[in-house]
Chains A and B, each alone.
Chain A
Amino acid sequence: MDGDRRDEILQQLSEGVVRFDEEQVIQASRRALDEGINALTAIVEGLSPGMETVGDLFQRKEYFVPEVLMCADALNAGLEILKPHLKEDETATKKGRVVIGTIEGDIHEIGKSLVALMLDISGFEVRDLGVDVSLERFLSEHREKRSDIIAISALMSTTMLRMRDFIVGIKEADPGVLTMVGGAPLTAGIARDFGADGYAEDARGAVIEAKRVLAID
């Protein structure tokens, strides 16, 4: 296949995500496979840059949460088609293992799920525990998965205040695991005071921060 055609398909994947055109993403994902584009390439060079652009638009306040949710749906539609075609060795060479969830008492899931999605398409192995997650659940999942990072989200200032105890509990159970926190009421300063190893303002920042705490290029 010539390079132009390959670029065109990757471009369609990326554009489809940005314009939250699910149909375009589905078509382009199928075409990618039909025309012999490697599934990993389609994800990393097609869908993923699209979601990066979405992150930019969100940071610039051109996109808001409804648009980002629609983009994430389009991205997921593509992943559903492409992921089964990833080769074994491609899924095994992950950048790191992350256990993520929204803290107990808090059922806000949008930000947390976007972080999980961005980490996933950036090459992390992500286990998303959902919302209202107790310390015990974070720890038992961590023991099972031997995760590198435990990432905790909170949207309300009241539930955010519990993060400090969670981080203390996590470090007591395993001083070696890294912790990341995020959510609307948090700031870098509060995250530091709580003893978290990492903090990010949004899903794009979370990927950069996860790489930073794990010292990955």
Chain B
Amino acid sequence: MRQRESWQSIDPGFCGTEDMEEVEKNFVAPLMGYPGLTKTGATVRQALQDSNAQFEALDALGRAFSPDVLFCFMDLTAEAEALGARVAFSEGQPPSVVEHSISVEEDWKAGRVLDPERDGRLRVFIRTMERMKKNLAMARGAYVTGPLTLAGEVVGIKKVLKGMIRDDRSVRRLLQFTAEVAKGYAQRLVEAGADIICILEPSAALVSPRHYHEFSKGPVEEISGSLDAITLLHICGDVTPLIPEMIKTRVHGISIDSAVDIVGVLGQLDGRMAVAGNIDPVKEMVFSTPEGVRERVVGLRMRAQQYERALVSRCHRVVGEGDDPGQGIHSNFILSTGCDLPPEVPLENIRAFMEGARESIPRNTC
């Protein structure tokens, strides 16, 4: 039986960390789903519309690479579509929102919130998570679209961004609505078996630290605080200016992209939370050679270790259940990719990533 404490009752905020002396290993959690389709032969469309196709691809990746955490497919259109936005699918690439949802303003004024079991394709991810819980030994992660990003998808991002300056009250109300949507959906994913909820907030990379603080941070914390799960905040792109605000956000960890100096972030953190990242999903994982990927992973681990801290037991207990390598004392540096791996990533590069991640490296003792 999985032991879990309520995060809210302990601390509505961070994962605690301890001195690094005892750190033995890093959690390894590349953000991957789509490359699994190479193994099963299903299309992107099938994997996002049919939980069997999605689970089989994830199962194939889980068996082949045994990461410590496996996330379900990343699909930034799922909630927007469930709110009425039109989404274009293709066989080979993740979908995109092609038309904003015109009725959403009526929805949020009327207080209608999503029903994850009925609206759009959200149930595909819920069913996938249930099967992951039943069949996979490693910890499981799922994504929800962050409040600012979802707001941009349903009413148009330009409107939201300009609204922050022109009409901040209505943007705030919209973000309250999208945070409610994310909370409801994330709650269902946790019930279905997700140990980790990763809040995807790429649109925050477009705004100033002040605007992030004023608009995005609160709704993200509201989502995080409502869940009995570990929460990560992922913002893609070069978010260097946002880092001071991101690390003040009450989530258990942040996930950052390859453009950010992750070692510098670990240094700034002084162990306050977990940080996941940040091997380049395209430059390294698509275009580099297996040897190049392995070297890059080992190099990152070497550079990161001077700032690593041990995650305290409550974090560790949730993520670390299951067979070895889940056991042991883990670092607050989670070895991951900077963003989701595209379908084109060669499987041998994922293998090389895992080899670099598991290779024993000399630990700093000073």
Complex Cα distance, B96 from A187, in Å, reads 23
Could you tell me how many residues of chain B have their Cβ less than 8 Å away from some Cβ of chain A? 31
Complex Cα distance, B94 from A107, in Å, reads 13
A61 and B93 form a contact (CB under 8 A) = no
B93 and A159 form a contact (CB under 8 A) = yes
Within 8 Å CB of A33, what residues of B?
none
Interface flags for A107-128 (1: CB within 8 Å of B; 0: not) read 1011000000000000000000
Which of A20, A107, A132, A158 contacts B93 (CB under 8 A)?
Answer: A158
Question: A69-B158, A161-B282, A193-B287 given as contacts; is B206 within 8 A of A64 (CB)?
Answer: yes
Question: A110-B158, A157-B282 given as contacts; is B211 within 8 A of A66 (CB)?
Answer: yes
B96 and A190 form a contact (CB under 8 A) = no
Within 8 Å CB of A20, what residues of B?
165
B297 CB, nearest partner CB in chain A, Å: 19
Interface flags for A176-207 (1: CB within 8 Å of B; 0: not) read 00000000110101100100000000000000
A190 and B283 form a contact (CB under 8 A) = yes
B344 CB, nearest partner CB in chain A, Å: 6
A61 and B241 form a contact (CB under 8 A) = yes
B153 CB, nearest partner CB in chain A, Å: 10
Interface residue B302 (Cβ < 8 Å from any Cβ of A):
no
B164 and A66 form a contact (CB under 8 A) = yes
B282 and A65 form a contact (CB under 8 A) = no
Interface flags for A16-38 (1: CB within 8 Å of B; 0: not) read 00001000000000000000000
A73 and B281 form a contact (CB under 8 A) = no
A70 and B162 form a contact (CB under 8 A) = yes
Which of B88, B164, B208, B281 contacts A105 (CB under 8 A)?
Answer: B88
Within 8 Å CB of A63, what residues of B?
208
Within 8 Å CB of A158, what residues of B?
93-94, 342-343
Within 8 Å CB of A66, what residues of B?
161-162, 164-165, 206-208, 211
Interface residue B347 (Cβ < 8 Å from any Cβ of A):
no
B98 and A157 form a contact (CB under 8 A) = no
Complex Cα distance, B283 from A189, in Å, reads 9
Q: Which A69-121 residues sit within 8 Å CB-CB of chain B?
A: 69-70, 73, 105-107, 109-110
B96 and A106 form a contact (CB under 8 A) = yes
Interface residue A160 (Cβ < 8 Å from any Cβ of B):
yes
Q: Which A9-68 residues sit within 8 Å CB-CB of chain B?
A: 20, 61, 63-67
Within 8 Å CB of B94, what residues of A?
156, 158
Which of B97, B158, B282 contacts A160 (CB under 8 A)?
Answer: B282
Complex Cα distance, B77 from A156, in Å, reads 13
Within 8 Å CB of B339, what residues of A?
157
A67 and B208 form a contact (CB under 8 A) = yes
B93 and A64 form a contact (CB under 8 A) = no
A184 and B90 form a contact (CB under 8 A) = no
Q: Which B49-98 residues sit within 8 Å CB-CB of chain A?
A: 88, 90, 93-94, 96-98
A109 nearest in chain B by CB position:
B158
Within 8 Å CB of B220, what residues of A?
none
Interface residue B300 (Cβ < 8 Å from any Cβ of A):
no
B161 and A107 form a contact (CB under 8 A) = no
B209 nearest in chain A by CB position:
A64
Within 8 Å CB of B350, what residues of A?
none
Interface residue B237 (Cβ < 8 Å from any Cβ of A):
yes
Interface flags for B342-366 (1: CB within 8 Å of A; 0: not) read 1110000000000000000000000
Interface flags for B320-354 (1: CB within 8 Å of A; 0: not) read 00000000000000000001001110000000000
A99 CB, nearest partner CB in chain B, Å: 21
Within 8 Å CB of A109, what residues of B?
158
Within 8 Å CB of B344, what residues of A?
161
Complex Cα distance, B88 from A157, in Å, reads 17
A107 and B96 form a contact (CB under 8 A) = yes
Interface residue B136 (Cβ < 8 Å from any Cβ of A):
no
Q: Which B140-163 residues sit within 8 Å CB-CB of chain A?
A: 157-158, 161-162
A70 nearest in chain B by CB position:
B165
Question: A158-B93, A158-B342, A159-B93 given as contacts; is B88 within 8 A of A187 (CB)?
Answer: no
A105 and B93 form a contact (CB under 8 A) = yes
Complex Cα distance, B96 from A106, in Å, reads 7
Within 8 Å CB of A161, what residues of B?
282, 286, 342, 344
A65 and B237 form a contact (CB under 8 A) = no
A63 nearest in chain B by CB position:
B208
Within 8 Å CB of B165, what residues of A?
20, 66-67, 70
Q: Which B258-310 residues sit within 8 Å CB-CB of chain A?
A: 281-283, 286-287
B161 and A69 form a contact (CB under 8 A) = yes
Interface flags for A151-171 (1: CB within 8 Å of B; 0: not) read 000001111111000000000
Within 8 Å CB of B208, what residues of A?
63-64, 66-67
Complex Cα distance, B342 from A157, in Å, reads 7
Given pairs A65-B161, A110-B157, A184-B237, 16 additional interface contacts (CB within 8 A): A61-B241, A64-B211, A65-B207, A66-B161, A66-B162, A66-B164, A66-B208, A66-B211, A107-B98, A157-B282, A157-B342, A158-B93, A158-B94, A159-B96, A161-B282, A193-B287
Can you name 28 A-B pairs with beta carbons within 8 Å? A64-B208, A64-B211, A65-B161, A65-B206, A65-B207, A66-B161, A66-B162, A66-B164, A66-B165, A67-B165, A70-B162, A73-B162, A105-B90, A107-B98, A110-B157, A110-B206, A132-B88, A132-B98, A157-B282, A157-B342, A158-B93, A161-B344, A184-B205, A184-B237, A185-B282, A187-B283, A190-B283, A190-B287
